[in-house]
Amino acid sequence: MKERGHDTKGTVPFYVDEKQVFRCPLTFITPLTWEYVRAYNFYDKNCFPNGVIWTRESKKYLTAMQVLSNAYNKAQKGRLDGKS
């Protein structure tokens, strides 16, 4: 939708962390980040790409999963506290 800013600046704002943005927030996410978000679903179920133990995973992968886990937990806490 043109007004939501997928390809260019839109006319209807989104609110991200209480700030107005005039681009679709999905356009801020890189393809690699999407892959990590997809991987987090498996990580959350203890399914690891390189086997059954986390010590076989790369530091980059583990850091990404930790960042996503922290963000997810923060969002959940906000929902429970009535902030979302």
pLDDT tens across 29-38, in order?
899 999 999 9
Residue 74 confidence (pLDDT): 92
**Span 2-56, pLDDT tens digits:** 777 777 888 888 898 889 988 888 888 899 999 999 999 999 998 988 887 888 8
Residue 36 confidence (pLDDT): 94
Unique residue bearing structure tokens 């209480």: 18
Confidence of residue 83 (pLDDT cuts 50, 70, 90): low
- Sign, CA dihedral 7-14-70-44, equals negative
Give me Rg for the CA atoms of the chain: 16
Q: How many CB atoms lie within 10 A of CB 53?
A: 9
- Sign, CA dihedral 33-38-44-48, equals negative
